[in-house]
Amino acid sequence: MTSRRELLCDTVISVLAAEGGRGLTHRAVDRAAGVPLGTTKNYFPTREALLRAAAERMTLLHADAVAALRDTTPADVTPSRVAQLYPALLRRAVLEDPTQLLAMAELYLEAVRRPAVREALGRMVVSNAEAGASLHRTAGLPSTTRDAGLLDAYFLGVAVSLLALPAEALRATGLDDPHALGLGLFRAAIPTSGHAVPTSGHGDQPLDPGGDQPGGHGGDRAAARRPRGR
């Protein structure tokens, strides 16, 4: 059962995604969560506390998602199958539910000017990379935290571009094939040590990313509500 604190953290993520940094207020979270006015401020007294809570909640959701994925990954999983996970994650993050992607982008912008948010974001990025590298190693890939962190950074930049740019710009810059992009990101960042990783097509059946998305990219059920239009 979701606790009141978890509900508020999830709602902070959804408000941040829907309204942007300027729209993130205690009252906005109270209204979106359906709790009495003043409730959010009791848990998170400052706006920085709200932003830190969002980063910490996304870290926890990511760790849970990767752990669940690792638990259901067969012992003989191939590098090709792990690679196919990233096109699926890119599709989910951009086309199905961009909540955490949008919230993540807003957190990065806030972190530029807020040292406390930068610290929380840094912990999230390292934790996500460590979990991602661990997942890659289940397929025998010599992935390190640095490799997985680079993949996460690539992923975030490409995902934001896919979400923000018009179709004609995506076509002109070769960003109009999310499946090929997902595989390309994986190949660019993760050492394969001679293992075959597809360059296009759909190849092996990908791992099921489930409800939440590993690799630092958020998840479908990370927020209590889907983002409203900006």
Contact 117, 107 (CB under 8 A): yes
Q: What is the pLDDT of residues 116-151, one digit of tens each?
A: 899 989 988 999 899 899 989 988 999 999 999 999
Residue 75, classed as helix, strand or coil, is: coil
Could you write out the DSSP letters of every residue in 130-186? HHHHHHHHTTT----HHHHHHHHHHHHHHHHHHHHS-HHHHHHTT---HHHHHHHHH
Structure tokens at 148: 């997985």
pLDDT digits (tens, 9 = 90+) for 156-213: 999 999 999 999 999 999 999 999 999 999 999 998 855 666 665 555 555 666 544 4
Question: How would residue 225 be classed by pLDDT, with cut points 50, 70 and 90?
Answer: very low
Tens digits of per-residue pLDDT, 52-92? 999 999 888 888 888 888 788 788 888 998 999 999 999 99
Q: Report pTM.
A: 0.81
Q: Could you tell me the two tokens for 18?
A: 């829907």
- Per-residue pLDDT band for 222 (boundaries 50, 70, 90) equals very low
- The answer, yes or no, to whether residue 19 has pLDDT greater than 80, is yes
In this structure, the number of other CB atoms found within 10 A of the CB of residue 55 comes to: 27
Question: In a 3-state reduction of DSSP, which class is residue 78?
Answer: coil
φ, ψ (nearest 5 deg) of residue 218? 85, -170
